[in-house]
Amino acid sequence: MEVARDWKDYEIIDMSNGEKLERWGEIILTRPDPQIIWKEKTYPKEWNKSYARYSRSNTGGGNWQYKKKIPESWQIHYKELTFNIKPMGFKHTGLFPEQACNWDWMINKIKSSKRGINVLNLFAYTGGATVACSYAGAKVCHVDSSKGMVSWAKENIVSSGLKDRPVRFIIDDVTKFVQREIRRGNKYDAIIMDPPSYGRGKNGEVWHFENNISDLVELCSKVLSDDPLFFLINSYTTGISSKVLENILNLKLKMKKGKLSSGEIGLPMKNSNLVLPCGIYGRWEK
């Protein structure tokens, strides 16, 4: 497992009984996590310091319960990158800190390539990977179907001091965009995707990870350049092994010579040897 251990502005303070106590800069939040099935609290008194707790409803969804007033948004830093944090309606904050594992990997790949790299970031959300790749010197095309998420990604680019870098923001259905890029003859040296488990587009398009991921990877292989650098699939879909992602890349990119790998990414709990598993990845790299 790759563990994001280099954070200074984020940490898991404790984990117990389906919840994690996290520090985001100066703000401490309590959020649910289904992986935390143990009952023990390592630091029971620390839980009283939480500013807000997201609790799920028995009928679905949930809401934030505030113990202390918190800002509408605030910033945290990862190395040279800056991200805007905002509590959202469905437990999220606009950032997945475990993705720092992938950011570091991408930054290293791009910088080490010693050439101009054109990146396509699909299901790009608030742009963590977009910021990382732009910081590394790549030209990035950021695609997400949500106008709000794309606006948020633009904020993160500006906050990270990268507003003059070449980043193209696209609000569109991922599959339709890639199909158009094939027709246009546009090519990319690196592709990143973080597909949801399930999604529905504004025109009724239905995305189901198990049914659609293989076809999307094959479609994306047609916009890879003749000398690609990497292809990364990230997933939070339960029940899918990271080896499945590696197998798909193996099958769909078999004409490309490179190295395949897969695994889990996770976050450490402070002052302990506990690690929270957070997601999986499959990578093809030159």
- Listed by start position, the domains of the chain span 2-85, 97-285
Is the torsion defined by CA of 153, 130, 63, 61 positive or negative? positive
What CA–CA distance (Å, rounded) separates 48 from 26?
A: 15
Q: Which of 77-91, 139-153, 189-203, 260-274 has the lowest mean pLDDT?
A: 189-203
What CA–CA distance (Å, rounded) separates 43 from 18?
A: 15
Residue 216, C-beta contacts closer than 8 angstroms, at least 6 positions apart = 174, 175, 178, 193, 195
Is the confidence at residue 201, as pLDDT, over 80? no
Average pLDDT over residues 115-127: 98
Residue 3 pLDDT class (50, 70, 90 cuts): very high
pLDDT at 112: 98
What pLDDT digit, counting tens, does each position of 238-280 carry? 999 999 999 999 999 987 789 999 999 999 999 999 999 999 9
Average pLDDT over residues 106-124: 98
Structure-block tokens of residue 214: 């293989």
Architecture of domain 97-285: 3-Layer(aba) Sandwich (3.40)
Residue 7, C-beta contacts closer than 8 angstroms, at least 6 positions apart = 78, 97, 100
Closest CA to 118 of 195, 42, 12, 191: 191
> What homologous superfamily is domain 2-85 in, according to CATH?
Golgi alpha-mannosidase II (2.60.40.1180)
